[in-house]
Amino acid sequence: MWKHFAANSFSFLIIALIAFAGAIAWGERQYSEDGPLTDAVYFEVDRGATLTAVSEGLEAAGVISNATIFRLGARYTERQNDLRFGNYEIPAGVSMDQVMEILSSGAPSTFRYSATYVIRVQGEGEMRLRERLPGTGALEDIAVFSSSVETIPSAYTQLVDSGEPIVYRVSVPEGLTVWQIVEGMRGAEFLVDDVDELPEEGTLAPDTYEVARGTAISEILADMEEAQTEILVAAWAGRSDATPVETVQEALILASIVEKETGVSSEREQVAGVFANRMEQGIRLQTDPTIIYGESEGRGYLGRGIRQSELNNGDNPWNTYQIDGLPPTPIANPGRAAIEAAINPAETDYIYFVADGSGGHAFAETLAEHNRNVAAWRAIEAERAAQEN
């Protein structure tokens, strides 16, 4: 009898082991085979989210077929503690193993929705809300609007209210003044205005900054100041003997003038070289943007041409037609390229330059040559005016 009982028990154990092995093999196949997702989706892992919460969210979103198997597979591969918070694009058909790899990779977040706020010259901003289409990466505009609009488009407000993850960015172009930057940020509904005093001119590094909704403007300005300091220190360490400036502050002032004088990247060193020659020869810089800065009280634009009275205004301390050398402060916030150009100007014999009608400038070594270039530019201006009328 006992032999019969032992034989039955042994047979049962064998069957149980076979069933257990079969279950493991089935689970492994489920974990590694293609998943049920038919189209790519975006999935968010919240900060501090547990493996259970994530697995259930994945199952609810149709990314995986079984949350329990996903958890068991994560533990079996010893990755149960490797989840990284963020937003991820999950391709169609990925296995549970591949999903776990994506969520534990620590790769930069990929947001479906991005809201980029670009600061404009008038101290305003333009918001561009975009959707990154899953699976293709193509960007599609959802809403584009100015900060001055009376009513924000519903497509934007509804998405914000829905709680969908959105990455916010503030984009600051080169050559804006501190006033323009701060005023532009004040028009962004997703930022908190806590600025009482403006930073010093020139100390903000133009760039695109990723921020969270509800970020204080002062925090962004602090990041911009830190970035500009790093750029200046690195550029100053590599300065050439040809630089006409003697201090980092002078380099920043000259860089701001270079930034305002040309938007053509290939011209920056050449323009800086012209100013270096004029400074070394004791010739006044005579650059229009310095007049505009003083006359606009640091706002950086007039909305019209410069008047003769403004050219002759000796009470404007930034008027380089009336003062020798550099103005007392920067006239804008220059980018890295302009700073490097000011510190490493081109070695050239040019003393003059004027617009050439193509967006660039015509350079000259002599006043006679410069006058011919000016006459050519005046003719272009007159022709354009006639065509407009």
pLDDT in tens, 324-341: 999 999 999 999 999 999
pLDDT of residue 7: 47
State the Cα–Cα distance between residues 195 and 219, nearest whole angstrom: 10
CB 342 within 8 A of CB 254: yes
CATH class of this structure's domain 24-103: alpha beta
Q: Using alpha carbons, select from 265, 244, 261, 267 the residue that is nearest to residue 342.
A: 244
Burial class (CB in 10 A: 0-12, 13-18, 19+), 48: exposed
Q: What does the pLDDT look like over 79-110, one tens digit per residue?
A: 888 888 777 888 788 888 888 887 887 777 77
Cβ pair 281, 349 in contact under 8 A: no
CA distance 274 to 7: 101
Element containing residue 140 per DSSP (H, E): strand 139-146
Residue of 92, 122, 117, 89 lying closest to 103 (CA atoms): 89
Domain boundaries, the chain: 24-103, 113-230, 240-388
How confident is the model over 345-385, as pLDDT tens digits? 999 999 998 888 888 898 899 999 999 988 888 888 788 77
pLDDT at 221 over 90: yes
Residue type, 6: A
Give the model's confidence band at 16: pLDDT under 50 very low, under 70 low, under 90 confident, else very high: very low
What's the sign of the alpha-carbon dihedral 208, 211, 217, 222? Answer: negative
- pLDDT band for position 211 (50/70/90)? very high
Q: What is the pLDDT of residue 61?
A: 80
Other beta carbons within 10 angstroms of residue 93's beta carbon come to 14
What confidence category does residue 19 fall into, taking pLDDT thresholds of 50, 70 and 90? very low
Give the confidence band of 56 by pLDDT, cuts at 50, 70, 90: confident
**Residue 351 to residue 72: CA distance in whole angstroms:** 74
